[in-house]
Each structure stands twice: as C-alpha cells, then as structure tokens.
Amino acid sequence: MNIRVKQPVIIGNCYRGQPNRLWEVFILKWFLVAVACLIAAGAVTVYLAHYFMKTRYTSTNVTGVTGQHSDLNTYKGQLQDMGDGYSLFKQEDMTQICKTDELTGSQQMRKQSTKLVCYYTFPGPGGLVPDKIDPFLCTHINIAAVGINNSKLEPLCEERKEVIKSLVGLKTRNKNLKVILSVIGMPGGFGDMVSKSSSRRMFIKDLLWTLSYYSFDGVDFDWEFPAWPGKISERKKFIIFLKELRGAVWKSQLNTIVSVAVAAQETIVDVSYDIPEMNKLINAENHGWSAPASGYGKIGSKGFVSYPEVCQFLHSTGSKYIFDKNFEVPYAYQGLEWISYDDECSVMYKAKYIASSSYGGAMVFSLNVDDHQGVCAGTTFLLTTQIRNILGVSWQ
C-alpha cells in the first residue's frame, strides 16, 4: 500500500508594513474555499480507496509479508498523518476486538453450500504432515505442487508419494472431502505441452492415469502465465487444451474437478485468458494478490512468514501492533522491521464480506503456514478455522 503524504501549507507574512485590509479579506476568502475543496477531494479519495480494497476481499492468504522500511521516521510520520485510520493495540486488545465484533448472519450462512479450498504444500523436515490435518477443516484440499517435464507430470519421489497417499486417506474420515492435485507451470513446461496436439494427448493420458491411481478428485492448473510474457498463441492453445481435457474426462467417465489458478492483475488477465471460454470448461477460478516489500526481513523465508512466526514477533520486546481501520488489515513493526499479515480480525472481515456477497467460497494458501501446532493461542489452524466457522462451509 502506497501512502502519499501531503506537506503542510505554511502561510506567513509576505511583506512588511501596513497591510491592505480589503486584500486580506479577499485572499482569506479564497484560501478557505481552496481548503474546503481539498478536504472534500480527500474524503472522496478515502471513500473510493476503501471501496476498492473491500471489493477485492474474495480470497485470503495466511502468510505474512515481511520487509524492512528504509526510513522509520518517515514511516511513523505516515502513520500519524493517517489519523483515525490507524490504531495501536496490544496483542490482547486485538483478541478482544475480534471477540466483540458481532458475526451477524453466520448461522444463516451455514445453510449455504459454501466451499473452503485450502492449499497444502509438500512439507519439509518438521513440517505439517497430513495426519495432523482435520479432514473437516476444508471442503477441498489442493496439494501443491507437481511440475511438468517433457509433456508429462514430473516423477514423484517416494516421500511425496507417501504424502499424497496420506492426504487422500483423509477421505476415509470425511467421505465428502475433495483432494485435488495442483500442477504448476515451470519454465517451458505448460507452453511446450500445449503447443502440439501430440504433446497435449501425452499429458492428458498421463494426468488421467495419475488422478485415477491416487484417487484424486480433480486437478488444479497454476500456469504463470499463458502468453505473458510468452507467445501470444499460448492463450488460444490453453483453451484448446482445456477443451481436449474435458472431452477426455467425459470419455473416461471420471468425476473430475478441473480448476485454474489465474492472475489477479487486469493487465495479465487481458493478455493471458479467454475468460468466457474458460468459464465453460473449468469448475472454478482462483484469484490471489500479494503486497510488495522493499527487501526481505530478518524473519521468515525470502519475504514470507508463517502465522506462528508473526505471533512470536508480536510478543518480542519492542514490537508494535497496528490495525488499519480503513482497510481492516493488521501490521506489526519493530525498528525498521515490519510485517503485513492476516490475523483473526482480518480473516473475519474477509470471510464476512465473502458471505454477505454470496460468493461461492474462499481459498487459503496455505495450511502449512497457519498455526498448525497451536503456538499462538493453543488452538490449531486458528485462521482457517475462523474462516470456516464464519462461512459455515458444508461438505455436501
């Protein structure tokens, strides 16, 4: 978020001697008119910015973005200039805000067929294993991610095969849970595959075999991005591929979900996707966005930080919690180190907006960076559970 700070206008004496009273009145009159216009323009700008941000709360990302601000004094000055837009709270105050905010209409939302799609990434040492996931937490779990190599899915090592089997095994405890394979586009992977009919047939055959063998319920494609900045023909070839895949799924009589993760930026969307045609061929489209940072912070990994790491940062000496009441998002900073992230309050506002707007559901990336060990409040998957409870998801 960029904050533009207007410098104060200082009015002083421009000359010495006895002033002309008539000119003083004239100048003062038009100065007051100009100030009134600036105030009105500022109010409209704040309203439009608030509306613009709210209309995009259709998905959430439980990872934080961490970085270093180049000038702490300027940063603090920006916060002060925002006035009532920012408030400083202690961590316990934030929890109280969430508890006192009425969840209007949440009971009615439970009657709807709302979906909660949760991404799960292959874990590293000591990471989240499938057995620790509540099978009733999400309606869909997308396991991310498998690449494309020579027009086939990249080979899986034994560890990843076991992870897949354990994740799919959650369906024995919740028969309505859907487990989806997420396929990511490595350089040249998607582009080479869709370029020729023979390579498309090879990939589709291999994909359908994999989905059937591991009992997946569907596939999610994450190609970043067709025709941007690649060949313009990739846009059309991607649609041809989706049509051929749909035909093959129908012939195989597999009950397969096909979804596509697409870009949120309009400049990319206009180049990469034929949205009307895609809507006919896939089950869902997933949009996401992230905030830029001017350099990696000291915590987390390459600018991203998990929610337990956020909690530890907030409880460290000298850290400050900031809640932007205009856009309903939290920040934290300590010295030049700052973090933007999701917490119980921000996901509550997003989930309530999704519910009130009658959207089909929400997407979370990812379960691995939620508090799956109960570090923050003794409750596992704190953020995802908050979203599930407000949306009132079902597994029908």
Could you tell me if 334 and 313 are in contact, meaning their C-beta atoms sit under 8 angstroms apart? yes
Residue 341: count of CB within 10 angstroms of its CB: 27
pLDDT at site 236: 96
The model's pLDDT over 46-59, given as tens digits with 9 standing for 90+, comes to 333 333 333 333 34
What residues have CB less than 8 Å from 220, skipping those under 6 apart?
Answer: 142, 180, 181, 182, 183, 259, 260, 261, 286
Check pLDDT > 80 for residue 294. Answer: no
- Rounded to whole angstroms, the Cα distance separating 236 from 271 reads 11
**Mean pLDDT for the stretch of residues 184-204:** 92
Q: Which of 187, 182, 181 is nearest to 225 (CA)?
A: 187
pLDDT at site 316: 86
% of the chain with per-residue pLDDT over 90 = 47
Amino acid at 3: I
Per-range mean pLDDT, top range of 5-14, 182-191, 305-314: 305-314
- Rounded to whole angstroms, the Cα distance separating 54 from 85 reads 15
Q: What is the mean pLDDT of the chain?
A: 77
pLDDT at site 34: 54
pLDDT at site 142: 98
Check pLDDT > 80 for residue 375. Answer: yes
Structural domain boundaries of the chain?
18-55, 56-391
- Rounded to whole angstroms, the Cα distance separating 103 from 120 reads 28
Say what the pTM is: 0.74
- Rounded to whole angstroms, the Cα distance separating 248 from 230 reads 27
**Mean pLDDT for the stretch of residues 13-30:** 42
pLDDT at site 67: 65
pLDDT confidence tier of residue 62, bands split at 50, 70 and 90: low
Which of residues 78 and 310 earns the better pLDDT score?
310
The model's pLDDT over 318-341, given as tens digits with 9 standing for 90+, comes to 888 887 777 677 888 888 788 889
pLDDT confidence tier of residue 61, bands split at 50, 70 and 90: low
| Residue 307: both structure tokens together | 């929610």
Q: What is the DSSP letter of 131?
A: G
The model's pLDDT over 132-161, given as tens digits with 9 standing for 90+, comes to 999 999 999 999 999 999 999 999 999 999
Residue 215: count of CB within 10 angstroms of its CB: 12
**Could you tell me the CA-to-CA distances from 337 to 66, 208, 320, 334 in Å, in that order?**
7, 47, 11, 5
In this structure, is the dihedral angle defined by the CA atoms of residues 266, 332, 363 and 389, taken in order, positive or negative?
A: negative
Could you tell me if 26 and 266 are in contact, meaning their C-beta atoms sit under 8 angstroms apart? no
Check pLDDT > 90 for residue 388. Answer: yes
Could you tell me if 303 and 296 are in contact, meaning their C-beta atoms sit under 8 angstroms apart? yes
% of the chain with per-residue pLDDT over 70 = 68
Question: Based on the number of CB atoms within 10 Å of its own CB, is 189 exposed (0-12), middle (13-18) or buried (19 or more)?
Answer: buried
- Rounded to whole angstroms, the Cα distance separating 109 from 104 reads 10
Check pLDDT > 90 for residue 174. Answer: yes
Could you tell me if 61 and 288 are in contact, meaning their C-beta atoms sit under 8 angstroms apart? yes
Topology (CATH) of 56-391: TIM Barrel (3.20.20)
Check pLDDT > 80 for residue 27. Answer: no
The model's pLDDT over 249-260, given as tens digits with 9 standing for 90+, comes to 999 988 999 999
Could you tell me if 228 and 190 are in contact, meaning their C-beta atoms sit under 8 angstroms apart? no
